[in-house]
Amino acid sequence: MKLTAEQIQSNWEIFLDNIKTHIPGNRGEQLTNFYKRYEERIILMPAAHKKEYHSAFPGGYVDHVNRVVRCALKQYELWKEEGCDVTTFTIEELVFSAINHDLGKMGDKDHEAYIPQTDQWRRDKLGEDYMFNKALPFSSVPDRGLFLLQQHDIKYTFNEMIAIQTHDGLYDAANEKYLKAFMPEQKPRTSLPFILHQADMMAARIEFEIEWLPKFSKNSVDTPKKNYTLNSNIKSSKTKALNSMSSPGLKNMLDSL
Ligand SMILES: [Fe+2]
């Protein structure tokens, strides 16, 4: 998918507006200043380095985060309607977690995490328009995001920390300690992590559909070529096998294959 310059610009305005609307006071200002400081980098960032992953195109990151914020607010209404105790977290915590859930994807303050792929073969054959920046020491996305926030003096609540940490749900085995607990006292005391995970999954799935389903439509899928090699192999190996077969029953059975 390709976003126009206007769409990229408009997404960025929506991104900043979400902070303005939902993160009040000093923390909102700090967050706005943080994102404005890294604006040039974040505004064009992809959400992933491979085409097969979601939103791996310029501006894909902000587009994804905005979708997660929208989905999170809609999921909130659904959970509330179904009886979820929404007094255990605030809308501010929900939106803060959604805005920052993938922040670790930006890299650290000096290095971008995704840089343009320099290997043309990998671009053509593997669909990698970006590659990981090897100058960046490894960290999980949630760990790096939380580190960046504290490094820039942006405070987060306990609820926000757990939600950002576990936003990949059980797709990340590291989250089992929070999400696979059997003892009631060890389960999260709020549904915020589940709401954020659902919103993220929903957004990523929809981004996959936008990018890939048209490619799988009838007129777009390549017609498989007749595999002459396989056919001729079967023929010759079958003849060879049949000639050396002593059991007539088995010979008949193989012959009919
Ligand atoms: Fe995400």
Q: For residue 203, report the distance from its CA to the centre of ligand 1, in Å.
A: 8
Q: Is 82's pLDDT higher than 70?
A: yes
| pLDDT at residue 47, rounded to an integer | 84
Mean pLDDT of 89-94: 98
Q: For residue 236, report the distance from its CA to the centre of ligand 1, in Å.
A: 52
Q: For residue 255, report the distance from its CA to the centre of ligand 1, in Å.
A: 55
Q: For residue 229, report the distance from its CA to the centre of ligand 1, in Å.
A: 44
Provide, rounded to the nearest whole percent, the portion of the chain with pLDDT above 90: 70
Q: Is 125's pLDDT higher than 50?
A: yes
DSSP character string of the chain = ----HHHHHHHHHHHHHHHHHHS-HHHHHHHHHHHHHTHHHHHH--S-SSTTSTT-STTHHHHHHHHHHHHHHHHHHHHHHTT--GGGS-HHHHHHHHHHTTGGGG--SS--SEEE---HHHHHHH--SEEE-TTSPP--HHHHHHHHHHHTT----HHHHHHHHTTTGGGSGGGHHHHS--SGGGS-SSSHHHHHHHHHHHHHHHHHHHHHGGGGSTTTSPPPPP-HHHHHHHHHHHHHHHHT---HHHHHHHHT-
Q: For residue 244, report the distance from its CA to the centre of ligand 1, in Å.
A: 60
Mean pLDDT of 219-247: 50
| pLDDT at residue 233, rounded to an integer | 46
Q: For residue 85, report the distance from its CA to the centre of ligand 1, in Å.
A: 24
Band of residue 222 on the pLDDT scale cut at 50, 70, 90: low
Q: For residue 81, report the distance from its CA to the centre of ligand 1, in Å.
A: 25
- pLDDT averaged over every residue in the chain: 87
Q: For residue 56, report the distance from its CA to the centre of ligand 1, in Å.
A: 12
| pLDDT at residue 251, rounded to an integer | 46
Q: For residue 206, report the distance from its CA to the centre of ligand 1, in Å.
A: 12
Q: Is 94's pLDDT higher than 50?
A: yes
Mean pLDDT of 163-178: 97
Q: For residue 96, report the distance from its CA to the centre of ligand 1, in Å.
A: 13
Lowest-confidence range among 24-28, 88-92, 113-117, 142-146? Answer: 113-117
Mean pLDDT of 70-94: 98
Q: For residue 102, report the distance from its CA to the centre of ligand 1, in Å.
A: 5
| pLDDT at residue 226, rounded to an integer | 52
Band of residue 239 on the pLDDT scale cut at 50, 70, 90: very low
Q: For residue 243, report the distance from its CA to the centre of ligand 1, in Å.
A: 60
Q: For residue 104, report the distance from its CA to the centre of ligand 1, in Å.
A: 10
| pLDDT at residue 124, rounded to an integer | 85
